[in-house]
Amino acid sequence: MGIVKISDQMHDALRHASAALSRSVNAQAEHWLRVGMLAELHPTLSYSEICQLLMRADAPGADPAPATTRRRLAEAV
């Protein structure tokens, strides 16, 4: 776990989005980071398709290990 420095404008956007989506600020930031990472790795996927990949990776019985999750996400495409 570490500290990430972001601009005041990004923090305001995180606070606004987290309140609207009933997530903590940290959970909202992590969601945006995961979506952004997958969007860069798979530029042809839509936001909806990326969310489906995230849901499959977090499905019950899925291995929570980050390397396994990354591999499972890459194989799902």
pLDDT of 77 reads 53
% of the chain residues with pLDDT over 90: 61
Is residue 70 over pLDDT 90? no
Report whether pLDDT(72) > 70: no
pLDDT at 63: 61
On the question of pLDDT at 21 being above 90, the answer is yes
Q: Rounded to two decimals, what is the model's pTM?
A: 0.70
Q: How confident is the model over 45-53, as a mean pLDDT?
A: 92
Q: Of the candidates 50, 63, 61, 59, which has an alpha carbon nearest to the alpha carbon of residue 74?
A: 50
